[in-house]
Amino acid sequence: MKLAVVGVTGMVGEVMRKVLTERNFEITKFIPVASPRSVGKKIAFQGQEHTIVSMEDAIAARPDIAIFSAGGGTSLEWAPKFAAVGTTVIDNSSAWRMDPTKKLVVPEINAKILTKEDKIIANPNCSTIQLVMALAPLHREYTMKRVVVSTYQSVSGTGVKAVQQLENEIKGVEGEMAYPYPIAKNALPHCDVFEDNGYTKEEMKLAREPQKIFDDKTFSVSATAVRIPTAGGHSEAVNVEFAQDFELGHVRKLLHDTSGIVVQDNTDTNTYPMPMYAHDKDEVFVGRIRRDETQANTLNMWVVADNLRKGAATNAVQIAEYLVANNLVKPQ
């Protein structure tokens, strides 16, 4: 099994290498790919040194799977070229997510839609993944009508430059700015670029992607995305209206029994999800589960996950694992 990681030196690329190692994903040839300035440099993976190669050399190697974490423009240009030589691409960018010819996959929810013919597969937005993981068992049981979500997203979601800005500000050091304002001791209601409707691109991802993942447009999602001064982990306040009423005990049991979900919900002991405890974990943590007392059939909950792991790298590796386990990808 030949596997390429495109964007191997980036934040997600580094986590990708870690996740592949932890999950013992079987690889006979690892092909690290990065920008031209990194080509020729050495990188460590599974106890061995590997030389970073160019896009062209990676395509020539005909990897069986290529996991992309290098931005939308790069994916649009290069993913089809990998696919043309028989490689199955799993893309972390937003480039292909809403393309009607491409699948948008969270393995626990909809991996069964994948076929051998799917040569470019989209990984959802990090905030979307943790949201739909928490919503999926509840939607099956009670049928969602409307979701209102406010996100509290770490600077790692923006990238290395943003993490450095936060660290500089904490230390009182002047440096390059990833955001138009300071992020330390602040909250920016501005994730990604603003669109014509006044929502940011991030907010519209949260509105559109869940409908595609569930293959269901009978519910709607309204989102507000906020950047906060945490180094890692995204949090979400979720309000969801169902077509049917629910019992809180049953809601907790449904979530507890769902693979990939950990319920942390005991107000007597101040037990609830926090990004500092989600760090470096693959699960999605759910707590503060309570009825919305202002509206019938409506639930509030608090959802937290490591945005670089389940929100990106782990989900992509899980897709690769599913493809291999179900013979949808075989060594060329």
199-207 long-range Cβ contacts below 8 angstroms, 24+ apart: 199/223, 200/225, 201/94, 202/125, 202/127, 202/151, 202/153, 205/94, 205/97, 205/124, 205/125, 205/127, 205/128, 206/125, 206/127, 206/128, 206/131, 206/149, 206/151
Distance between CA atoms of 45 and 158, rounded to whole angstroms?
25
CB-based burial, 41-54: b 16+ in 10 Å, e otherwise: eebebeeeebebbe
- Residue among 50, 126, 139, 191 flagged as catalytic: 126
Is residue 234 annotated as a catalytic residue, yes or no? yes
Is residue 191 annotated as a catalytic residue, yes or no? no
Closest CA to 207 of 193, 190, 223: 223
CB-based burial, 274-297: b 16+ in 10 Å, e otherwise: bbeebeebbbbbbbbbebeeeeeb
Instruction: Look up residue 291 and give its two tokens.
Output: 């009825």
Angle in degrees, CA 145, 149, 153, rounded to 5: 155
Q: Beta partners for 262?
A: 285
- Residue among 50, 139, 191, 234 flagged as catalytic: 234
Q: Which stretches within the chain are classed as H helix?
A: 11-22, 55-60, 72-84, 107-110, 126-142, 160-171, 201-214, 248-256, 275-278, 314-325
The SS3 call for residue 201 is: helix
CB contact at 8 A, 234 and 159 = no
The SS3 call for residue 144 is: strand
Q: Give me the active site residues, please.
A: 126, 234
